[in-house]
Amino acid sequence: MNIIKIGGSLTYYIKPLLESLKSYKREEIIIIPGGGKFADTLREIDKNLSLSPSISHKLAIKCMDILGEVFSDIGGIKAYDNLFDLKREIKKERIAILLPSKLLLSTDISEHSWNVTSDSLTLYISKFLNVKNIIIATDVDGIYDKYPEGKLLNIIKADMIKGLTAVDEYFPTLLKSLNKIAYVVNGKYPERIIDILEGRNTICTKIIP
Amino acid sequence: MNIIKIGGSLTYYIKPLLESLKSYKREEIIIIPGGGKFADTLREIDKNLSLSPSISHKLAIKCMDILGEVFSDIGGIKAYDNLFDLKREIKKERIAILLPSKLLLSTDISEHSWNVTSDSLTLYISKFLNVKNIIIATDVDGIYDKYPEGKLLNIIKADMIKGLTAVDEYFPTLLKSLNKIAYVVNGKYPERIIDILEGRNTICTKIIP
């Protein structure tokens, strides 16, 4: 089982990405949607009107559900709101989208803060699965030593990640505490994700605990 | 029972509006949220990537739920996802927010199209209630004979409404078929909504069937 978080920044590049992943079929793939512009709208409202942190957290997760349904419709990939059904059904299609609000709100497993976004939430979700690869697909090639105009890092230890990167603030700490590996990769090049699934070297950043 | 649809365009003016409505208490008020910028984001995705009309419809309604929870948090007004609980509880506080997705998706009462937005959906919801006034609160003073730079119409027959107005395309037809009256009013001036609730003349447009 592989878990691929697809960031909202890939919304307008989603069709070829989903088509490639759907036709891959050699490994089971669970897609976790980001919150995209829906979550950006919420963040802007929060910045201006100060929502309570718990409500921001809850609604940002609901934004992930909405983007998940968008991905489902565009990619022709079934979406599930629970792992029970998803794990049964993924055996057939080899790919499924998780609408994460039910799992995340019913377990209430994470801190209620904007430091925990869909990247970290993907790690929390991975706890409930027997995951081979955790892949964060975004619109940049990986993590850079500085950004912009830095050098792409092929590999980095979680606790060396600092400042503004392609993953959220809490992600490195959580990855380390889970003792997991994750890949940050540019989803505009679906072949790179396939490379990772196949165990080949590719353009991406591997984060080790 | 009065039903007030609060458009997303009022998001950044929402605090004084909700405060006034909350402290009014002489009449029961149900607030129906619009979809705001959340629905705008969806519409943009639909325009670029062509979602299926039913999914757009469903997700636009989910956007109303999200904005409803935002209003609930900012205004300190309880939100309900069903009329059973709302009607029991509104007796105490005199005001409540409806998160409409459960009602609208379970009944599937409306056409799946962008011609039917939260304005028309408010009319559909009004069918399940014994409603005194239907009020559409938006960020303009009402309906104009032309816009911009037209004259504000104090009263208009539903079938005289044409072109771009403060209400969605299907609203006039539906209002007429329901044989109801509705008011379009500027929510930046909460006192105008209170005027309508009190039966006083005010700056707004009254739409008659």
Task: Please tell me if residue A41 touches chain B, with a CB cutoff of 8 Å.
Answer: yes
pLDDT over threshold 80, residue B164: no
Residue type, B112: H
Q: Locate B14 and state its tokens.
A: 């929402």
Contact A66 B15 (CB under 8 A): no
Task: Please tell me if residue B10 touches chain A, with a CB cutoff of 8 Å.
Answer: no
- What percent of chain B has a predicted confidence (pLDDT) above 70? 100
pLDDT band at A146 (very low <50, low <70, confident <90, very high): confident
Q: What pairing do the DSSP bridges indicate for beta strands B182-186 and B205-208?
A: antiparallel
User: Nearest CA of chain A to the CA of B170: how many Å?
Assistant: 25
Give pLDDT tens digits for A92-145.
999 999 999 999 999 999 999 999 999 999 999 999 999 999 999 999 999 998
* Dist. CA A172–CA A155, nearest whole Å: 13
Contact A73 B52 (CB under 8 A): yes
pTM: 0.94
Complex ipTM over 0.85 = yes
Task: Please tell me if residue B131 touches chain A, with a CB cutoff of 8 Å.
Answer: no
Q: How far is CA A164 from the centre of its chain?
A: 17
- Residue B94, phi-psi category: left (phi > 0), alpha (psi -120 to 50), beta (remainder): left
Task: Please tell me if residue A47 touches chain B, with a CB cutoff of 8 Å.
Answer: no
Residue in the block written with tokens 């909405």: A66
- What percent of chain A has a predicted confidence (pLDDT) above 70? 100
* Dist. CA B140–CA B187, nearest whole Å: 8
* Dist. CA B36–CA B63, nearest whole Å: 8
Taking all residues of chain B, what is their mean pLDDT, rounded to a whole number? Answer: 96
pLDDT band at A158 (very low <50, low <70, confident <90, very high): very high
Kindly provide the residue ranges of all beta strands, DSSP E only, lying in chain A, ordered along the sequence.
2-6, 29-33, 79-80, 95-98, 133-138, 155-157, 182-186, 205-208
pLDDT over threshold 90, residue B165: no
Q: Are B29 and B86 in contact (CB under 8 A)?
A: no
Task: Please tell me if residue A16 touches chain B, with a CB cutoff of 8 Å.
Answer: no
Taking all residues of chain A, what is their mean pLDDT, rounded to a whole number? Answer: 96
User: With contacts defined as CB-CB under 8 Å, which chain A residues touch B48?
Assistant: 12
pLDDT at A208: 96
Q: Are B97 and B66 in contact (CB under 8 A)?
A: no
Q: How far is CA A61 from the centre of its chain?
A: 12
Per CATH, the number for B2-208 is 3.40.1160.10
- Mutation target vs A (from B48, B70, B78; most A CBs, 10 A cutoff): B70
Sketch the domain layout of chain B as residue ranges.
2-208
Give pLDDT tens digits for B46-87.
999 999 999 999 999 999 999 999 999 999 999 999 999 999
